[in-house]
Structure 1
Amino acid sequence: MSESNQRKNKIILLLLSISAFFASLNQNIYSPMIPLIRDTFETTIFWVNLTVSGFIFITAIMQVILGTFIDTKNQKKLLVFSLILTSISILFCAFTTNFVVFFIARMFQAIGTAMIPLIAVNVIAILFEGEERGDAMGTYQILLTLAPALAPILGGFIGQYYGYSGVFLFLFIISMILLIFLGYQLPTLNGQQTVDDRKERHMYQRYKILWSNKKGMNVIGVGFLTFLIYFSILTYLPVLLHDHYQVSLQIIGLLYLPLTVSMILGSVLFKKLQRKFDLEKLYHVTLFLMPILIILFGIILEKNIIILSIVLFIYGVLLGFSSPLFSTMISNQYTNERGLALGLFNFVRYCGMAIGAGIVGVNFLNSTSLFIVLGILFLAFSLVLNQNQNVKIKEGSE
């Protein structure tokens, strides 16, 4: 690849990563404004919370819907369409005085923003190969991780001075800037399926190919379990800090920042290590370290807040490391069905998040036992995957 093409691809990577950051910003900037929106529209907290859960639900469903046709469509047109839809929806949210219109606009905003990360990661997989792909995925993940930490701070600050309309107008400005730059910089990229594939392959056949790749499906399954446990911890953490350690609610919010920082460090670490070590080795090390940390978290969660913080920091590094690792491995496993596979991966991640957030409230186990059991299940799953891999290696050598 020529130096000019490399420079152009780096600019495109930065724009795509900012786009994914923007998509996450749309979801997470909303939280501090919930009381303000409730009071402005004179509605109940139930209906306002429904705009939150509805946004997440649509985001999850869109990963599967978009994944079914992203591999055969023009990536630039899809991304431009998603940004236009997002921009129009944001304007409706900013200026409407009717809650029903606001609710509907928020759902269309979810459709637009849900498309952006999948298109972005698919374009990255098309533009970059080998070690460069892993490096690009790491950069993408760093910006994606920043959004949940910065969004509530931005939302609270802008909302305090300019109201919820100011927050949505802020998002609109970013959306238009991205639309202009991506419209100019992004090349016309089509999905990597051949013309014959487009005509002959039905959706059933494409999913059959997807499921037949055991290694790819194993990574997707691990992704589901990883994010289920992550959101279980994320949901339980404020309860633990407030009820057991008597930490104030104001401080609890700040305590999430070290976890975010550690996840960013994990993504940076992946960018470096994936150039030196085989992805398969990094994958298996991650599979064993992560469940051990989860079991350790379950054992010491009510014993010492300092040791707990250290364990959570290391866990955050591993989590930040695993996200670009999983995305890169899935991209490498699939060629024609890459977008479909990444869409399914995103979908199961969101499902894992939803189940993980709800599982903490089910009182069939105490918190210590719950996380120890989850860690043991993860470890058992890792051992099974490792055993299957060893069997395949032996069969191949005979």
Structure 2
Amino acid sequence: MTDSQARSQIATGKTTGLTFVLILSALMAFTSLSTDIYLPAMPLMAKDLQGDVELTITGFLIGFCIAQLIWGPVSDHFGRRLPLFIGMVLFVIGSAGCALSTDIGQIVFWRVFQALGACTGPMLARAMIRDLFSRTRAAQMLSTLMIIMAIAPIAGPLLGGQMIKVTSWHSIFWLLAVIGTLMLISLFWLPETLPEEKRVKASLRSAFRNYYTLLSNTQYMRFTLCLTFYYVAAYAFITGSPFVYITYFGVEPQHYGWLFAVNIVGLMAVSMVNRRLVHRYPLETLLRFAVCIAMLAALMLALATGAGIGGIGLIAAAVFVFFAMNGVIAATSTAAALDAVPNVAGSASALMGSLQYGSGIISSLLLALLSDGTPWTMGWIIAVFTVASAVMALTTRGTKTAG
């Protein structure tokens, strides 16, 4: 089968369609799985490694952020499959290194190494969708992927919480190594979506100059910053919730996963609705609506944590609404941003992903430096950056309609 035939079959949902969607969903889930699965073990890891375990998230996001900027032009030049194969190998090695770590410095180093490979998954999954589908169809496909990939952040904390009851936290990273190996094998069923004639022919050095063009593209950057600011807020919850739920409110680590998972159920439900909405409304309209709903939930969360009212119930309810909106925000902002720069989808996806996931560095550092021992720090960080996300969404131009 030729590349063009494979692309045609995928685009029309035949033969390789289901396999393609499942593999891309798994690739999209790599980031959340790599972090969410060990969230319940973070208090135990902090005691065992005698260090600030939040730095393992910071280190992962630093590696994730930087590496994407390299893999993007590489994928535009050589195609999507080769970087994915190399990335999965790096991920497996990094996961094994984390499992063998004995102090905080070692595990932070291997988390950075692990991220060098993990970042190829979601970045190139987005690029492959843009290779194949138009703007509205791409948003629908991204919503579909999010429904399936949401299994990872649901299963991850639940599995991690149960594992530390019967074994050590090291086993969690050995499991990630096994998952990475299975993903490496699955890539043999993934066809190349960027044919030779569409690849960037200029040298890689010239390809890296695309980042300047992207940074100066106002429409692309507004959508990208909208998603970036939203993810600063999302990572504030991901990083801060183990302390808030387990340490502050006394939730058992094995039950923490349920509180985390309920947010992903909301995301999945909204993603299913969004698959239909993208054919009826412009992406910009859906994005603005979703971000404004998330902003209201974030402001409620800040009020509750600042005033110390409502307890864990109000916090969980506000976070549920905030997280559910990701089912619209991620799909619409990504599709609209990549549609603005279709000729460099790999680099555009890389820059977007670098800012999106690198934004978690801001969250984890703010939490580490400014925490006052209460949920308030997490609450105001989420509120401030969700408001910033809303500002970006409200200033985008609605130039394209659904169709």
Q: Tell me the TM-score normalised to structure 2 length.
A: 0.78
Aligned to 1:304: 310
2:186 and 2:119 map into 1 onto residues whose CA distance is: 20
Aligned to 2:26: 18
Q: Measure how far apart 1:31 and its partner are.
A: 3.9
Aligned to 1:258: 262
8 Å Cα contact 1:74-1:190 kept in structure 2 = yes
Q: Measure how far apart 1:216 and its partner are.
A: 1.0
Q: Measure how far apart 1:72 and its partner are.
A: 1.4
Q: Measure how far apart 1:292 and its partner are.
A: 3.2
Instruction: Decide which of 247, 250, 266 is 1:248's aligned counterpart.
Output: 250
**Partner SS state of residue 359, structure 2:** helix
1:2 and 1:308 map into 2 onto residues whose CA distance is: 46
Query: What root-mean-square deviation, in Å, do the aligned CA atoms of Structure 1 and Structure 2 show?
Result: 3.8
1:369 and 1:168 map into 2 onto residues whose CA distance is: 32
Output the amino acid matched with 1:25: L
1:120 and 1:303 map into 2 onto residues whose CA distance is: 42
Aligned to 2:346: 339
Output the amino acid matched with 1:53: T
**Partner SS state of residue 336, structure 1:** helix
Residues 1:119 and 1:293: Cα distance change in structure 2 (over 3 Å)? same
Aligned to 1:179: 184
Moved more, 76-85 or 195-204: 195-204
**Runs of 5+ in structure 2 lacking a partner?**
1-7
Which has the higher Rg, Structure 1 or Structure 2? 1
- Show CA shifts across 1:233-288 (max 9, x none): 55566666689xx7323265533332222122222222221122221221232343
Instruction: Decide which of 88, 92, 114 is 2:119's aligned counterpart.
Output: 114
Q: Measure how far apart 1:137 and its partner are.
A: 0.6
Aligned to 1:54: 59
Aligned to 2:86: 81
1:113 and 1:347 map into 2 onto residues whose CA distance is: 12
Aligned to 1:396: none
1:67 and 1:3 map into 2 onto residues whose CA distance is: 22
Instruction: Decide which of 315, 320, 330 is 2:327's aligned counterpart.
Output: 320
1:172 and 1:362 map into 2 onto residues whose CA distance is: 34
**Partner SS state of residue 29, structure 2:** helix
How many residues get paired? 382
Q: Measure how far apart 1:83 and its partner are.
A: 1.6
**Runs of 5+ in structure 1 lacking a partner?**
394-398
Aligned to 2:355: 348
Q: Measure how far apart 1:94 and its partner are.
A: 4.9
Q: Tell me the TM-score normalised to structure 1 length.
A: 0.79
2:264 and 2:196 map into 1 onto residues whose CA distance is: 34
Aligned to 1:206: 210
- Show CA shifts across 1:169-219 (max 9, x none): 433333333222321x21234378846752598246412331343211100
Matched ranges for 1:1-398 at <5 A: 1=8, 6-7=13-14, 8-33=16-41, 44-46=49-51, 50-91=55-96, 93-94=98-99, 105-164=110-169, 166-183=171-188, 185-190=189-194, 194=198, 197-199=201-203, 202-203=206-207, 205-233=209-237, 247-250=249-252, 254-301=258-305, 302-305=308-311, 309-359=316-366, 362=370, 377-383=388-394, 385=395, 389=397
